[in-house]
């Protein structure tokens, strides 16, 4: 079962279904669900467009006992989404979060014992083109591991399933570092584009954008190290520089949320970094300022 049938949920659902796995997409967008059920999920790749038959529904309308629940909702919706499907869980159900931001494991552990929770990170590209339609062009990776730091047979089976579905998937005991590195990347680019309305390339070409991005990455690294996580700031900064050069026209999800007047994930990204920094007595002025600026924009859009 995939909870959150957005761009990433649909990509993973389509590939797993093509590999022969029985699954269900769970979402709240009725038009999207109806399109998938009536005409299949359309997925566009470098090889062209494919139609994948897959079942989709709202949480209250399905009766599907999952071995694995993959969560792809925004972090701010995690608790509500899991609460809506937890009646389908039993003592063998495992849960994997591949969401952005921090705090998802703590939320998941409120619904499933921590030894059956996995966390991870992925950078596969995917864009939702409309109801029942996604586009994914390019390669990526998936890194996963047990949220309690232990490797179990279930973890290996999940990694094997992803590999069978064509994903470049590895079991990485140091996955928490990868999660923090993605958080640092998102804290820089998502917040700056959301506040300025600029594309990634425009931020990179501006006089102050790269300086602010680099400071956010450095501040996130300080907080990560205070939690005994050896985040590679240089690797993150190289990824930011690559994004400036190769994804100049890209509008990150947080900017798209602002454009479409939706709540963003700023609380689970810049906000979570700032909160953990406060606990450790670390100052993160740029990261915290961007958090408050995005929250101001959100509050304006609510009215």
121 Cβ contact list (under 8 Å, min separation 6): 98, 142, 143, 175, 178, 179, 182
User: Which tokens sit at 47?
Assistant: 């090889």
Domain match, 184 and 278 both: yes
Domain count, the chain: 2
Count of CB atoms within 10 A of residue 132's CB? 24
Query: 297 is in which domain, residue-wise?
Result: 176-301
For the residues 19-40, what does the mean pLDDT come to? Answer: 96
| Per-residue model confidence (pLDDT) at position 92 | 94
User: Which tokens sit at 273?
Assistant: 């970094």
User: Which tokens sit at 178?
Assistant: 């990868």
pLDDT of 99 above 90:
yes
Query: How far is residue 282 from each of residues 88, 227, 234, measured CA to CA in Å?
Result: 42, 12, 20
Of 173, 205, 232, which residue sits at a domain end?
A: 173
User: Which tokens sit at 98?
Assistant: 């591949």
Domain match, 295 and 196 both: yes
- The model's confidence at residue 301, banded by pLDDT at 50, 70 and 90, is confident
pLDDT of 37 above 90:
yes
Domain match, 282 and 192 both: yes
| Per-residue model confidence (pLDDT) at position 303 | 72
Mean pLDDT estimate for the chain:
95
CATH number of residue 284's parent domain: 1.10.1040.10
| Per-residue model confidence (pLDDT) at position 226 | 96
CATH number of residue 149's parent domain: 3.40.50.720
Of 173, 197, 230, which residue sits at a domain end?
A: 173
- The model's confidence at residue 43, banded by pLDDT at 50, 70 and 90, is very high
Query: How far is residue 174 from each of residues 170, 177, 208, 288, measured CA to CA in Å?
Result: 11, 6, 33, 27
For the residues 46-72, what does the mean pLDDT come to? Answer: 94
Rounded CA gap, 167 and 73, in Å? 20
Domain match, 156 and 11 both: yes
Query: pLDDT tens digit string along 130-184?
Result: 999 999 988 899 999 999 999 999 999 999 999 999 999 999 999 999 999 999 9
Residue 170 burial class via C-beta count within 10 angstroms: exposed 0-12, middle 13-18, buried 19 and up? middle
Domain match, 292 and 226 both: yes
Alpha carbon 72 to chain centroid distance? 6
Domain match, 52 and 149 both: yes
């Amino acid at each position: 079962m995939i909870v959150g049938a957005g761009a990433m949920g649909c990509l993973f659902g389509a590939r797993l279904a093509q590999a022969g796995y029985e699954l269900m997409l769970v979402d709240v967008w009725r038009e999207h669900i109806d399109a998938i059920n009536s005409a299949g999920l359309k997925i566009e790749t470098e090889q062209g467009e494919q139609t994948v038959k897959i079942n989709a529904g709202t949480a209250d309308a399905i009766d599907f006992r999952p071995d694995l629940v993959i969560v792809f909702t925004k972090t701010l919706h995690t608790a509500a989404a899991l609460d809506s499907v937890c009646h389908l869980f039993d003592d063998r159900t495992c849960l994997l979060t591949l969401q952005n931001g921090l705090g998802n494991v703590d939320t998941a552990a409120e619904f499933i014992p921590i030894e059956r929770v996995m966390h991870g990170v992925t950078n596969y590209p995917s864009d939702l083109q409309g109801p029942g339609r996604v586009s994914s062009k390019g390669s990526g990776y998936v890194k996963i591991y047990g949220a309690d730091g232990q490797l179990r047979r279930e973890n290996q089976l999940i990694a094997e399933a992803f590999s069978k579905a064509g994903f470049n998937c590895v079991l990485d005991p140091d996955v928490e570092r990868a999660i923090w590195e993605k958080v640092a990347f998102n804290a820089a680019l998502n917040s700056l584009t959301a506040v300025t309305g600029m594309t990634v390339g425009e931020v990179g070409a501006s006089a102050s954008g790269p300086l602010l991005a680099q400071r956010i990455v450095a501040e996130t690294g300080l907080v990560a190290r205070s939690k005994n996580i050896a985040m590679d700031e240089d690797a993150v900064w190289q990824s930011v520089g690559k994004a400036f050069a190769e994804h100049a026209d890209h509008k990150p999800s947080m900017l798209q949320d602002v454009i479409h007047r939706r709540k963003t994930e700023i609380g689970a990204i810049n906000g979570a970094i700032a909160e953990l920094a406060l606990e450790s007595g670390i100052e993160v002025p740029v990261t915290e300022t961007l958090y408050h600026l995005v929250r101001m924009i959100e509050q304006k859009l609510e009215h």
